[in-house]
Amino acid sequence: MFDSKMLLIILAIALLVFGTKRLRSIGSDLGSAVRGFKLAIGEGESEATVAKGDGGESLPDARGRRTAGGE
């Protein structure tokens, strides 16, 4: 779909429109946004696994009976 020539043309146009300082700022802002998004996703997954473990699910005891909370 995109070849290297098209990508270079797009980058050259962006450089002309925004300038080097603005492109550097846009790149760092975009990078920090992606980093923050990944961190939030990771925190959400860890909270989901903790909540899943505390959910009062029934687990078998030593005799094979199901009890709430694994007791």
Q: What is the pLDDT of residues 7-43, one digit of tens each?
A: 899 989 999 999 989 989 999 999 999 999 999 988 8
pTM of the model: 0.48
9 bridge partner residues: none
**Residues contacting 23, CB < 8 A, separation 6+:** 14, 15
Domains of the chain, by residue range, sit at 21-49
Q: What is the pLDDT of residues 59-69, one digit of tens each?
A: 556 666 655 55
Which tokens is 56 given?
């009062």
Cα–Cα distance between 61 and 36 in angstroms, integer? 42
Q: Count CB atoms within 10 A of the CB of residue 14.
A: 13
